[in-house]
């Protein structure tokens, strides 16, 4: 084998001659749809594209209602608000996730209770949830992270026993399935992001899903300045009722999506099932190859996960098998071979540069006890920390959008590093 790319040798993938599949994916269909919106003059506010997307996305997720909003952060916020979670309430979330999962909890004045994850799926540890429950606990927010699914059987059981809500953070899981049920249809509310990095995207955007008509009505109002939805939402009139006895409107603001975004999402959603299948086939094949290389562990594929939906491709690295080569050096070497960014997982929430509640006392210092309870530095998350510091390797999901020869090449690149590890010392 030739010299490692990081030491000046030829990279395994010459991305000038042979680029990785592009992300995002679009075509003539998007151009036509965008012009249609432009020329219609209906650019926002419950237009035909948004209405149709909501209908299709509800079908796609196996739910009764889908409601679009500006992003996958606001979705979490309005989910908490729809469930009337706020000051005095606790919400259990995993320590390994994008900062929004935690930030939205403090933005509704509730207290995030951040717990550790399982090392084989990187998703929330059900035993840790049990230990974290107090009389103040109101909800659990499992995150179906990267190529894995939170253990929804265990989480549903805990939620039932303790009368807790479940908000599924599905920002990574459009189309994933647990025992035949789609992500976003298992808990009380599903939260989706359509940010550019996600595998269904309009640049920005988000949607909440639910089977509960009362929640659907509240969610719809919360993204639309508190206005009551007129008539049915998107799948027939399910007997949507009043907010309460005392009024028709809710306090909220404008969190609406535009028709341009909905037009792009509608086209993307048509492509998504095939893309998911392709990524799943390639992911399974690549995981097989990786498990043959000493020191590498793919994310566990739970047999209850009946459909995978990969957001990024992640695996674990054990430096002992690579003569103690630090993981940062391993990632750099792999990045040089593949000409694509090779990253660690999210920063754990107890030491996350973008989750810093104490930088905003005017907003978050509700009282001294609260201020101290939301200090992320006080938590210990040994598994999250180990994954972030020593074990996680993450690549963009576009690497899974080609064919098997791309997977062979990725495995060969790692094998090359393994064979030449002495050169990196
Ligand atoms: C991306 C993401 C979000 C937030 O979505 P945005 O659309 O970027 O606001 C929330 N949770 C997780 C797990 C995410 O990956």
Residue nearest atom 4 in ligand 1 by C-alpha distance: 72
pLDDT, residue 249, reads 85
> What phi and psi values does residue 388 have, to the nearest 5 degrees?
-65, -45
pLDDT, residue 246, reads 47
| Distance, CA of 424 to CA of 330 (rounded, Å) | 9
Ligand 1 within 6 A of CB of 98: yes
> 348: CA distance to ligand 1 center in Å?
15
pLDDT single digits (tens) 358-413: 999 999 999 999 999 999 999 999 999 999 999 999 999 999 999 999 999 999 99
**Closest atom, ligand 1, to C-alpha of 143:** 13
Best substitution site from 193, 208, 309, 394 to test ligand 1's pocket, by max atoms within 8 Å of Cβ? 193
State which CATH number among 3.30.70.1050, 3.10.180.10, 3.40.50.1240, 3.40.640.10 fits the domain covering 28-267: 3.40.640.10
**Closest atom, ligand 1, to C-alpha of 195:** 7
Ligand 1 within 6 A of CB of 195: yes
**Closest atom, ligand 1, to C-alpha of 197:** 1
pLDDT single digits (tens) 252-278: 999 999 999 999 999 999 999 999 999
CATH of domain 5-24+271-346+385-424: 3.90.1150.10
Under 8 Å CB-to-CB from 59, ≥6 apart: which residues?
none
Q: 109-113, 249-253, 331-335: which range is least confident on average? A: 249-253
Q: 119-128, 241-250, 311-320: which range is least confident on average? A: 241-250
> 418: CA distance to ligand 1 center in Å?
34
> 11: CA distance to ligand 1 center in Å?
33
Best substitution site from 75, 169, 208 to test ligand 1's pocket, by max atoms within 8 Å of Cβ? 169
Q: How confident is the model at residue 231 (pLDDT cuts 50, 70, 90)?
A: low
**Closest atom, ligand 1, to C-alpha of 100:** 10
Residue 49: left if φ>0, alpha if ψ -120 to 50, beta else—which one? alpha
**Closest atom, ligand 1, to C-alpha of 194:** 7
Q: How confident is the model at residue 1 (pLDDT cuts 50, 70, 90)?
A: low
Ligand 1 within 6 A of CB of 73: yes
pLDDT, residue 58, reads 98
Residue nearest atom 7 in ligand 1 by C-alpha distance: 72
Active centre residues (catalytic): 198
Q: What mean pLDDT, rounded, does the chain reach?
A: 95
Best substitution site from 171, 202, 309 to test ligand 1's pocket, by max atoms within 8 Å of Cβ? 171
Ligand 1 within 6 A of CB of 330: no
Buried b (16+ CB within 10 A) or exposed e, 287-321: bebbeebebbbbbbbbeebebbbbbbbbbbbebee
| Distance, CA of 157 to CA of 294 (rounded, Å) | 37
Domain ranges of the chain: 5-24+271-346+385-424, 28-267
Best substitution site from 123, 190, 198, 312 to test ligand 1's pocket, by max atoms within 8 Å of Cβ? 198
> What phi and psi values does residue 393 have, to the nearest 5 degrees?
-130, 125
Do 228 and 252 contact (CB within 8 A), yes or no?
Answer: no
**For residues 81-107, average pLDDT:** 98
Ligand 1 within 6 A of CB of 199: no
């Amino acid at each position: 084998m030739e010299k490692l790319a990081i030491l000046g040798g030829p990279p395994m993938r010459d991305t000038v001659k042979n680029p990785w599949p592009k992300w995002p994916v679009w075509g003539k269909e998007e151009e036509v749809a965008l012009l249609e919106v432009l020329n219609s003059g209906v650019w926002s506010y419950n237009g035909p594209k948004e209405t149709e997307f909501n209908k299709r996305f509800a079908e796609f997720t196996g739910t009764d209602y889908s409601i679009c909003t500006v992003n996958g952060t606001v979705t979490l916020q309005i989910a908490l608000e729809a469930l009337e979670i706020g000051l005095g309430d606790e919400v259990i979330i995993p320590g390994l996730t994008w900062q929004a999962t935690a930030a939205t909890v403090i933005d509704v004045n509730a207290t995030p209770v951040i717990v550790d994850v399982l090392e084989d799926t990187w998703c929330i540890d059900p035993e840790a949830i049990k230990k974290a429950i107090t009389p103040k606990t109101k909800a659990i927010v499992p995150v179906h992270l990267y190529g894995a699914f939170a253990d929804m059987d265990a989480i549903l059981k805990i939620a039932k026993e303790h009368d807790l809500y479940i908000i599924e953070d599905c920002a990574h899981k459009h189309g994933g399935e647990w025992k035949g049920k789609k992500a976003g249809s298992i808990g009380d509310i599903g939260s989706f992001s359509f940010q550019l990095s996600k595998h269904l995207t309009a640049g920005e955007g988000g949607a909440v899903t639910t089977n509960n008509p009362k929640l659907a009505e509240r969610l719809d109002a919360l993204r639309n300045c508190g206005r009551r939805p007129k008539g049915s939402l998107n799948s027939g009139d399910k007997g949507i009722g009043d907010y309460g006895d005392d009024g028709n409107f809710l306090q909220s603001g404008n969190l609406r999506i535009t028709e341009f975004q909905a037009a792009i999402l509608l086209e993307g959603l048509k492509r998504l099932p095939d893309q998911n299948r392709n990524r799943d086939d390639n992911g399974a094949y690549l995981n097989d190859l990786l498990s043959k290389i000493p020191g590498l562990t793919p994310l566990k594929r739970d047999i209850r996960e009946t459909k995978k939906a990969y957001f990024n491709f992640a695996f674990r690295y054990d430096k002992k098998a690579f003569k103690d080569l630090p993981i940062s050096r391993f990632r750099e070497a792999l990045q040089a071979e593949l000409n694509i960014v090779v990253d660690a997982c999210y920063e754990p929430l107890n030491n996350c540069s973008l989750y810093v509640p104490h930088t905003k006392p005017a907003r978050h210092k509700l009282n001294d006890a609260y201020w101290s309870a939301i200090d992320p530095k006080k938590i210990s998350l040994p598994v999250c920390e180990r994954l972030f510091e020593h074990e996680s390797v993450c690549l963009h999901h576009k690497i899974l959008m080609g064919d098997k020869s791309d997977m062979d090449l990725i495995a060969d690149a790692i094998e090359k590093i393994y064979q030449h590890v002495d050169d990196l010392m």
